[in-house]
Each structure stands twice: as structure tokens, then as C-alpha cells.
Chains A and B, each alone.
Chain A
């Protein structure tokens, strides 16, 4: 019999992980007793992601020297990869805080094992996302014109523009997420301070722990603040990705004028974010041997969320097509025909396969409880979501009102290197995060262990 069969569905830790010391040593040992831990896989991943990061820097540098012409953008398809990458990354960047705060408000105890690295994922993905609109500007050095500041030109930002909303939404969200993440980290930093034997880690973790001592009074205030932050995070995240949706919806182009965009973008963000969390959870679990606190049940429940999201995504796509047909506008109908038969049709089918059809496998329990299967489907969902973002940009821009202006987008090597490089940069930051900061929240996992011990045998 496998261990799996013995794991009841309402348990989020394995019996062997159900002790405070086990949780602490599982999470803290890789950080404090590095020598006892095998880092080979980490170094290989680090080297690969460092190489990709250098590639990103080179392609961004070449872009800044040569201009947007190095990409496949043309006078018709003006938005190309950069904006699709931005939407994709910000979607992933949305999910960590959304998942963490929503699950907290809904008292889903299993969040304890995943919230820390999901929030870290948010910080890195949102930071990367913020870079794409800037490099996409023809003159990136003037990006600060988005901010309202007294200037000799006597001009102010156009507050009615969705792009200005974007700027404020991303800026607020990123800073908010850093605070949310850091406050959740303080008790764990105190644990590391108290466990560290060497002086340097003790001093550094100690300084960032702010002298946390686990006093009952402090916990009381901490919990109130954390809960209030979660309650604020949900509307902030929803507004952030709604604004991204409005970048598209508030236009006159065929296919870019639908009121369903804001909610559909928010669900899409949660979808791709959960898929990325699954990928990272599988890697953290494997890399640090955290089988007893990141269990099959976690993958099972995340697969269920992704299944629900895939159904909502399918309905959103269908409502998009239905609205085009029912509205009767020639241009809109012709766009739908172009989607399924035009230049990018194979990508459209791949998108539907990745986002809508393949995730239906999650209806089956055996698939949900196979970590390999969930991992593979999650990677496919990430690819599918990227295809969705790029097709939203390409299809509409390639098939505008004036047939003589219609052109296709052909990505250049610099489009691909910047995309792959940004993935490498994301991995690089995540790997560094795993090496210096506890990847799983120790205090919340210990609380979970406490609750599971209490109800054991009942």
C-alpha cells in the first residue's frame, strides 16, 4: 500500500511531519545548515537561470540601443510580445497574494504550506511584468512621465486613461504585496534567528525579525493586521487585473470592446497563477524533501480549483464568440472566423486544448492525485494562458477594420530571447529566495500541525 492511500482527505500533513520540530528542521535546515544539504540540483538550475538572465539583459540592452524595431512589431500589430508577456506575468503576479489572502479569509488551513512561496512568486512575477510596458515604450527613459509631478512642461497625466490606472494599480499592488509578505515572514525570521548557530545569520535574520518574541499581545495585533490586510488584498487584486482587462476592453477595435473582459481577466490570472503555484510547489516539495508538509492532498485541491477556473475560462471564451455572433457586427463575426481559420488558427486550437480541454482530466481523482500529472497539466495551462494573452493581442490587431492594413506578426529572435530570459530571471529570483528565506511558512504550518494533532483519532 502506498502512503497516499493512508492519507485522509481532510489532513494536510503526513503523520511523520506532525511535530513542531520536524516542521522547523525541514524548513530551516536548508537555510542554516547548508552543508548538510545537497545543493547540486539547485546549482544546475541556478546556472541555467543565470545564463537566461544574462540573455534577458543582452536582449533588453539591444532593444534599448536599437529600438522597438528589433521585435516583430509592425505598424499594424503594434503591441506584440511585450504587452502579451506583461499581461501573462501580471496574471501570475496577481495570483500569489490573491490565493494567499482569499484562502486566509475563507479559513482554508492548507494554505499554510503554500502561501509563502506563492507570495514570493507574486513579487517576482509582478516586478517582471512591470518591466515589459516600460521596455515597450518607444522612449523608455521617459516612463516617469506617468507620474504626476510638477514639471516645466506644465502637463499632468491623463487620468481618464486605462494606462495611467495600470501604473497606479501595479505600483500599489507591488508595494502592498511586499508589506503583506514581509509581515507574514517576521515570526519565521525570529525562528531562524533563534535556531542559527553562526553569528552572521543570527544578526541578519535577527535584524529583520525586528525583535519578534512571540508574545501573546503581539500575536493578537499581528492576527488582526494580517486579517485586515487579506480583506484589503482581495479587492486590490481584483481591481488590478480588471484594469489590465480594461486596457483592452475600453477600445474600439473588434474583439476588444467586451464588458466581460475584467472578470474574465481576473479568473485567467488566478488560473495561470494556480498553475504556476503547482509548478513551484512540486519543485519545492521535491527539492527540499517536504513531502510531509506539502502533500498529495494539496495538489488534489489545487487541481480542483484549476478545474473550476478552466470551466469558467471556457464559458468566457464561448460568451465572447456568442456576443460576436449575436451582436451581428460584420467585423466581429469576421474576427471570430479569422480566429479559427486565419493565420494563428493552430495556436487558437492549442490554446483551447491547454486551457479548456486537457484540464478536464481533473474530473478524475487518479489524475488529481498524481503529482506528475498535475504538474504536466499545470505547465500546459501556463503555456495555454500565454497563448491566450498573445492571441488577444495578435488576432484583433491583425484583423482590424481596414483589410488593406491587415498584417501578421512574425516574432524575431529578440522576442523569444526576452520572453525566455524573463522566465530565467524569474527562476533566478525564486532560487535565491529559496536559499535565504524559508520557502514555507513555519509558524502557520506549526499552527496547522497543532490543529491536526488536536483532532487526531477523533
Chain B
């Protein structure tokens, strides 16, 4: 009898654990292009009285990046984990800081940017986003 109770408890526990893994179906990370500076109001979402609680896709307005060598690499590699607005949001930073930031993405965050692209991205940021040369 005792063993049976134990078995039931074990099965129940593992069911709970499995259920715990099931909510992997929670949807996330949906973004859609958007216009910036638009004064149009967002439309309300159509809601159903079920157990799913949703929000619209989050907005990703286009970013005005400085044209130049390395822009393509920035758009490919930096964009994997975050939008390039992370660049334009910064104040003008010294060249050494930009180098450290890109190296941090590779070494600390495992961005895995190939060596030649890494150098291109560093040079691009240093050519357009320091106090001496930043325009946008």
C-alpha cells in the first residue's frame, strides 16, 4: 500500500514537472516594423474570453544608421540579439570604448562574429559614433 502511494506521488510529481516544461509554447519575441513619429493611435486588440493573454507584436521602427564601410556587418551581426538602435541610443563614445563594447559582445555574450567582420564593425563605429565624428 505504502509503495503504491509512493508510486502515485512520484507519477504526480513527474507530471507536474512535465507540465512545467509545457509552457514552452508561450509565444515570445515577436516584433514588427513600425513608423516612428507617427501620431496615429494604436487600434485595440480583439480579445477572446479564453486563457491566452496576448499583446500586439512589439514595434521595431527603422533606425537611421550612418552610411559607410561596415554598415552591412552591423546590420547582420549586431541585429541578431538587439536592434541597431542600441548604437544610436548611446552618447558619442571614445574609440576604445567602442572596441571594448564589440569585444564584449563576442567574449562575454558569445556573439560569434567572425574576426574580419568584428574588425569592420569596430572601425565603422569608431568612424561614425565618437565625439569627433558623430552626426546622426
Q: Do A and B bind each other?
A: no
